[in-house]
Amino acid sequence: MAEEQEQSSFGAESEAGQEAAENEGAPFPVDGDSQKRLTDMFSQQEPPLFVAAEDIVSKPNEAMPFDGVLEDDLMFPPFGVVKKRRGLAVLKVCLWILSVLLAATAVLFVHQIILRNVSGSVKRDNEKIPYNRTQTSYAEDNSLPDAPQVSADPDGPQISTVSQDPSIRTNTANAAFKKAAPSVVCITSYKSGSDYVMSKIGEGSGIILSKDGYIATNSHVVDDSVSTGVMVTVYDGSQYLGTVIGVDKKTDLAVLKIDGKDLTPAEFSDTDKLFVGQEVYAIGNPGGANFSNSMTKGTVSAVDRVLASNGYVRYIQTDAPINPGNSGGALINESGQVIGMNTSKIVSTNYEGMGFSIPGNKVAEIINELIKYGYVSNRAVIGIEGTTCNLYESKLKNIPQGMVITNIGTDSPLLATDVRECEVRV
């Protein structure tokens, strides 16, 4: 009897628990304490992804044995197919990448639509826009009037010319050129003893000094040698063979002579009062005889410039364009007077408009000596070339420190002594 009551009590509790479980959506009947335990445990760990209802094995209205202790096999029955978390993570990454690609595609699409609306249309590089004679612009603005419908007209306006104002030839630059240009010549140099045909060295410019044909130029124009052959072309196109009288490599000046008559000598100006900003002109033969008697314009950029290549001359710096072939030509002032001899320029992609001329006073000083003596008489001459041997080279080559003589000139007084090339002089 007691057992029947106990079973009835247990059945009642089971029915009550089953009814409560159905109300709460639980998968199997539990009492109040078990329900509390289930709630606590599920709150501490993640629930399964899904549970198939048909996989829950339970007979309706059948009491399940329960002794007050929940077993693991009752807590986690075989719920069926549950996807693993790794697969879920991969799915999430794939969905994220897909969403980013879709968003980027949408942004690009909207961007193209905006560009088309702003610019009207997108023209490809190789696409030609059809031309319409009546349209005046490719823009979408239609407020402009249409182009006129016209064709060639025999009675249309014609261009006519009038005589140039004669007073324009009296301007300063033209007047200076007319005065100085007849005194500037083109010099073509040839190797010594050549036939003047097959051995041309180069071309440059020169300045006429006298009516009978003394001409000043740069020493490098005549290859720094009195034996160089020269041919001179004067302003009117006449040509003369010439002879080099003297050269001075230290100042890059030389004198030659032709058998001329009634030539136009240049007028030299005192350059001691030359100032920065003064307007000057360069006359010469840039590129040789093909561009003879060319004039360029500039200003005096600086005076008394010392170049590392030559310490004997203080140059005039100018921005008047100087090119190969201008060497030996004249730098003149607004009065057509020679204020310098164009000799060099800085050639570099980093520099522009930096030309240099030997001042007229220095030209007169050296040229007068060369005409008289063939060399500069008041200058001490040793006639040798050399280089210094420092302490490092002395230790490396086991030679004494001093000057190594590399060349003895043909006019050197040392030829009469025991001094020889490649010797070291302390």
Distance between CA atoms of 111 and 164, rounded to whole angstroms? 61
Identity (one letter) of the amino acid at 98? Answer: L
Domain containing 322: what range?
Answer: 279-373
Q: Is 248 a catalytic residue?
A: no
Q: Which residues contact 255 (CB under 8 A, 6 or more apart)?
A: 209, 214, 215, 216, 217, 244, 245, 246, 367, 370, 371
Residue 202 sits in a domain of what CATH number? 2.40.10.10
Q: Does residue 135 form part of some domain?
A: no
- Choose the catalytic residue: 220, 294, 344, 357: 220
User: How many beta carbons lie within 10 A of that of residue 183, not counting itself?
Assistant: 23
pLDDT at 416 over 50: yes
- Counting residues of the chain whose pLDDT is more than 70, the rounded percentage is 67
> Which of 373, 392, 412 marks a domain boundary?
373
Number of domains the chain is built from: 4
Q: Does residue 197 form part of some domain?
A: yes
Give the pLDDT confidence score for residue 109 in this predicted structure: 84
pLDDT at 180 over 90: yes
Q: Does residue 162 form part of some domain?
A: no
Residue with tokens 């009642």: 12
Give the pLDDT confidence score for residue 404 in this predicted structure: 80
Examine the domain organization and report whether 332 and 405 are in the same domain.
no
Q: Which residues contact 385 (CB under 8 A, 6 or more apart)?
A: 405, 406, 407, 409
Give the pLDDT confidence score for residue 72 in this predicted structure: 44
Distance between CA atoms of 336 and 322, rounded to whole angstroms? 18
Q: Does residue 142 form part of some domain?
A: no
pLDDT in tens, 264-312: 999 998 888 889 999 999 999 998 888 888 999 999 999 998 887 667 8
pLDDT in tens, 161-171: 777 666 666 67
Q: At 400, is the pLDDT very low, low, confident or very high (cuts 50, 70, 90)? A: confident
Q: Region 176-196: what's the mean pLDDT?
A: 86
Cα–Cα distances in angstroms (integers) from residue 377 to residues 8, 110, 366, 368, 424, in the given order: 149, 88, 10, 10, 28
Q: At 6, is the pLDDT very low, low, confident or very high (cuts 50, 70, 90)? A: very low
pLDDT at 341 over 80: yes
Q: Is 327 a catalytic residue?
A: yes
Q: Does residue 420 form part of some domain?
A: yes
Q: Is 252 a catalytic residue?
A: yes
Ranges 82-86, 252-256, 335-339, 415-419: which has the least confidence: 82-86
- Choose the catalytic residue: 14, 252, 294, 301: 252
Residue with tokens 């990454």: 93
Examine the domain organization and report whether 368 and 390 are in the same domain.
no
| Residues forming a β-bridge with 341 | 330, 358
Identity (one letter) of the amino acid at 214? Answer: Y
| Longest CA–CA separation in the chain, Å | 165
> Which of 45, 75, 105 marks a domain boundary?
75
